[in-house]
Amino acid sequence: MWWPLPLVALNALVILATKQQRTKSVTTLIDAQWEATPVVLEVAEYLADENPDYLWSFVDSINHLEPPLVETSKYEFKWVLPISPINWFTGLDKARYERVLTAVSGVLTSTQLSVLKLALSLHIYSPKVEMYAQMARERGVLCPVAVDLAGRLTCDLAELKTLLIQTPTSQPRAGVKLYELDHHYPGSENASTVAVLYGELGTPELALFHELLKIHAAAGTVDYVLRHHVKVLVGIIPIDSSRLIKVLAGILCGDHSNRLIKVLAGILCGDHSYRLFKVLAGILCGDHSNRFIKVLAGILCGDHSNRLIKVLAGILCGDHSNSLFKVLTGILCLGINSTHVKERPQRKVRLSGYGVELQIKSTEYKAQDDTQVKGEESSDSSDQDDDEQEVQGFNFNRLGSLYPDLKEDLEVFRQHLLDSSSDMAPLKVWQVQELSLQAAERIMSAPREEALKLMTTIAQNFPLQAKSLVRTPVSEALKKEVKLNQDMFSSSLNLQPTDTALFINGMFFDLDVVDMISLLDVVRQELRVLEGLYKIGISESRMSSILALDFSGASSSNQEYAIDIRDSAVMWVNDIEHDKQYRRWSDSLMELLRPTFPGMLRSIRRNLYHLVIIADPAKLEARPLLKLAESFYVHTAPLRVGLVFAVNPDEMVSGLEDSGVAMLNAFNYASEQKDAYSGLAFITDVYAAVKEDRDITVEDVRSQLKSKYPQGNVEEILGEDSEYSTGRKLAKDFLERSGFRRHPQVLLNGVPLSDKSLTSDEFEEAVLTEIMSQTPTFQKAVYKGEFSDSDDSLDFIMNQANVMPRLNDRILNQDNQYYLDMSGVFPTNTKTDNFPSLSTRDKTAMLVAQMRYFSTRRQHGDDGHQVILTHWVVGDMDSSEGRHLLHQALEQMVH
């Protein structure tokens, strides 16, 4: 029996070697200020962002779970050993997580479910759930489920039924403050009475309140709002007022006010003055004269006739039939009964999406003599050879000479030892030169299914992996591919070899400024679009073509929709390409590529920027716009100014009756006398003569005409048969075609400026800002050769993709887009009477399935031609208005 001694010695050496290898790692943990929130509530908020119908379908699914979600521990929870509070909550959360995902799988597709799991791992909706919980606490909600009905808070279901009957449905919304982020039951938003339900999804109590409020919301009597209320775990809360339970709870919770607790504490702390201690000592010493001693002795001696003995013996002997034993066991075993313990654990939310960047750099600066470099290099190389010979106690040079036939296997084993080593040894400068290429070679040579996992491991543990990466040979093919990629990205995207970029469906993201939550939002948006296209029948091949479309021309430069200004209604004041005052400027578009100071306008003799003002010159609102337009002209700004006078189009109204028509006639007269600028100058002179802040009158125009042009006949200029009353009909047609419903309006290259910028304080800055935003478009076009000196500037601008024949705000406004979700499923067995109970998308699907269309022969041919524009006419065809609307729609389709 001599063999165990060497084995023990070997084990001791292994243990000693293991202890000498210390794992060097950096771990960052960031916790929020609030406790963990239930996963079911985070899923509910995720679905609410996707579609409100998803949320309410999910609420119904959770409420119909059997058993309820909060009772998962009784039925599906599996203990995680060793038994501890952390393991208990971990196992419970996992069981509920799986049940929640099963419930939500009926709402989301498998791809959307994967994105949901990513969102849950980041806890991006935990702050919103905590916000709802704080709102409940501020409202004074103390019970698990409560309803705030028109300012009255109740926790009783029977009382709520009474209040719903007694509360008038027509009273104003008083006592309840609503927010934009509240979840309203579909169809109940317009009800006068507001009922806010505070509770936690998955509890039987909330399911009862939800069903009651849903009935009243569907009837239109209440506006049903759901807010999450998360209960907080404060410890073990007994449900029985039994003195013994209070004693035991006091022992656990540190409440020592009870006499019995003091006795037990005295036993533990050595205070033997209490009588009870003497009793217990009597048990040990054989003095059984006291009744209580007999009871305790009965426990020890097997006499279980006393009820208390049965209970205590049940604890020791495994008899769990007694109710008191169950209570005591529940207290000792972490309170598994959900009615005893509140649902929210006291652990903080662990935040994700953060990390630490470790950079490899030299921390030493040495001064060396050139004559000693070679010697040191040889010394370094010999040291490196020694390091390579021995790896974790194995001399691979010696093993290679002894077993030359196992050379490849030994190399694999040596590489495995290097990879598993946690030693962060210092690296030489020459070893770091190709470290990134060596990491890329390791990833690219891995199996396809393991490449992403290996990339994650190297990126997250790079200092530990660096020692093994320096020995990875890099192939010439990889070097050429990397060099080609560097040249391509440098020329097209200005990405340098050290830069990092991310592309999602062709969209570029700079990882220095983007975070994980922003990327998740982009993925969700792209997934919504692609899932919607797939559901309406777009094939994968066509979807690839849609993804290949380039929308960067408009999005990258923030271009807005513009209107075609090549219209005879626009009266141009100047022409930069032909007027004498601009003849000293260069006419080459290459001047756009010349560097200038920030904010400086380039003086180029080309009509690149066209400012069109649409206004009634007699109105007070037009005064600052026309004054600044004259200022642009006087100060020789590279801006072509055009005017459209939106005056009374009735030809029966003359300038002697309408001040706007009078200003138009005077402008035309002054322009005919000299040039268009003289007409603009006359208008500003009228403004200067009127000191008050009011609209211009006919008398103001008459007096200025007599002062500036005494030789002219005012009656002929402003009269009914005046030859200068031209342009009114053209201006009317232009306004009708443009789609503008109000004026003044200002267009820069056809792009409308915002209404709030059309003031004396904001107008000039708004014009210059729009010029700066459009300049990169011209520069890019000149650089790519798409815009040359031989091209007409106005034609080039008006031929861009963002120029429309009409600006329809309802169609083109990207801020207020309204669309129908066409991804619903039409249930074939659904009757028309059940239409109100369907979700919004299913209602749309039912309409699509039963819709009848009118189309022309050209639109509905036999060649399978698809009609990309469809009009739905909604109206009462029994009324004259509805029939007139249908008639206009049919006429529009024909023409």
Instruction: Give the tokens for residue 538.
Output: 């777009």
* Strongest mean pLDDT among 119-123, 435-439, 441-445, 605-609: 605-609
Distances in whole angstroms, Cα of residue 767 to Cα of each of 200, 229, 236, 351: 53, 51, 68, 45
Q: How confident is the model at residue 644 (pLDDT cuts 50, 70, 90)?
A: very high
Instruction: Give the span between the Cα atoms of 628 and 684, in whole angstroms.
Output: 10
Statement: residue 281 has pLDDT above 80: no
Confidence (pLDDT) at 537: 76
What is the average pLDDT across 388-394?
Answer: 65
Statement: residue 626 has pLDDT above 90: yes
Statement: residue 681 has pLDDT above 90: yes
For 530-568, the pLDDT digits (tens) are 887 887 778 777 877 777 765 554 444 455 888 999 999
Helices (H) and strands (E) in the chain, counts: 37, 18
Q: Could you tell me if 753 and 560 are in contact, meaning their C-beta atoms sit under 8 angstroms apart?
A: no
Least confident of 372-376, 448-452, 624-628: 372-376
* Element of type H or E holding 224: strand 222-228
Q: Does 119 or 838 have the greater pLDDT score?
A: 119
Pick the closest to residue 103 from 78, 132, 73, 68 (CA basis). 68
Statement: residue 502 has pLDDT above 70: yes
Confidence (pLDDT) at 354: 64
Statement: residue 702 has pLDDT above 70: yes
Q: Does 56 or 280 have the greater pLDDT score?
A: 56
Pick the CATH number of 562-808 from 3.90.120.10, 3.40.30.10, 3.30.390.30, 3.40.50.720: 3.40.30.10
Instruction: Give the span between the Cα atoms of 97 and 38, in whole angstroms.
Output: 9
Least confident of 376-385, 619-628, 771-780: 376-385
Adjacent-strand bridge partners of 504: 507
Instruction: Give the span between the Cα atoms of 681 and 708, in whole angstroms.
Output: 11
What is the average pLDDT across 469-496?
Answer: 86
Confidence (pLDDT) at 252: 44
Helix, strand and coil in the chain, % to nearest 5:
50, 10, 40
Instruction: Give the span between the Cα atoms of 38 and 83, in whole angstroms.
Output: 22
For 776-832, the pLDDT digits (tens) are 899 999 988 899 999 999 999 999 988 888 887 766 766 666 677 776 776 666 666
Least confident of 196-205, 360-369, 769-778: 360-369
* Dihedral (CA of 416, 420, 423, 429) sign: positive
Contact partners, residue 30, CB within 8 Å, separation at least 6: 350, 351, 354
**Burial zone of 831 (CB within 10 Å; 0-12 exposed, 13-18 middle, 19+ buried):** exposed
Least confident of 41-55, 138-152, 459-473, 620-634: 459-473
Statement: residue 136 has pLDDT above 70: yes
Considering the chain, what percentage of its residues have pLDDT values greater than 90? 24
Least confident of 172-176, 293-297, 637-641: 293-297
Instruction: Find the angle CA(837)-CA(842)-CA(846) to the nearest 5 degrees.
Output: 100
Instruction: Give the span between the Cα atoms of 272 and 761, in whole angstroms.
Output: 89
Statement: residue 180 has pLDDT above 60: yes
Q: How confident is the model at residue 425 (pLDDT cuts 50, 70, 90)?
A: low
Considering the chain, what percentage of its residues have pLDDT values greater than 70? 70
What is the average pLDDT across 55-80?
Answer: 74
What stretches of 674-820 show up as alpha helix (H) in DSSP? 676-689, 698-708, 714-718, 728-738, 763-783, 793-798, 809-812
Q: Could you tell me if 309 and 295 are in contact, meaning their C-beta atoms sit under 8 angstroms apart?
A: yes
Confidence (pLDDT) at 767: 93
Q: How many CB atoms lie within 10 A of CB 164?
A: 20
Contact partners, residue 690, CB within 8 Å, separation at least 6: 696, 700
What is the average pLDDT across 269-292?
Answer: 52
Instruction: Give the span between the Cα atoms of 406 and 272, in whole angstroms.
Output: 76
Distances in whole angstroms, Cα of residue 797 to Cα of each of 112, 186, 517, 556, 618: 42, 46, 38, 17, 31
Cα torsion through 317, 322, 326, 332, rounded to 10:
-40
Instruction: Give the span between the Cα atoms of 739 and 812, in whole angstroms.
Output: 12
Instruction: Give the tokens for residue 731.
Output: 């201006």
Instruction: Give the span between the Cα atoms of 659 and 676, in whole angstroms.
Output: 20
What is the average pLDDT across 870-878?
Answer: 85
Confidence (pLDDT) at 662: 93
Confidence (pLDDT) at 325: 43
For 737-758, the pLDDT digits (tens) are 888 878 899 999 999 998 889 9
Q: How confident is the model at residue 407 (pLDDT cuts 50, 70, 90)?
A: confident
For 207-217, the pLDDT digits (tens) are 999 999 998 88
Least confident of 104-118, 531-545, 663-677: 531-545
Instruction: Find the angle CA(743)-CA(749)-CA(753) to the nearest 5 degrees.
Output: 40
Instruction: Give the span between the Cα atoms of 506 and 546, in whole angstroms.
Output: 11
What is the average pLDDT across 873-884?
Answer: 89
Confidence (pLDDT) at 26: 58
Confidence (pLDDT) at 313: 45
Please report, in angstroms and rounded to a whole number, the separation of the first and last CA atoms in the chain: 107
What is residue 707's three-state secondary structure? Answer: helix
Instruction: Give the tokens for residue 138.
Output: 């501020």
Q: How confident is the model at residue 480 (pLDDT cuts 50, 70, 90)?
A: very high
Instruction: Give the span between the Cα atoms of 447 and 460, in whole angstroms.
Output: 20
Confidence (pLDDT) at 833: 67
Q: Which amino acid is at 707?
A: S
Instruction: Find the angle CA(25)-CA(31)-CA(34) to the nearest 5 degrees.
Output: 165
Q: Could you tell me if 529 and 547 are in contact, meaning their C-beta atoms sit under 8 angstroms apart?
A: no
The DSSP call for residue 601 is P
Extents of the domains making up the chain: 31-228, 243-341, 562-808, 832-894
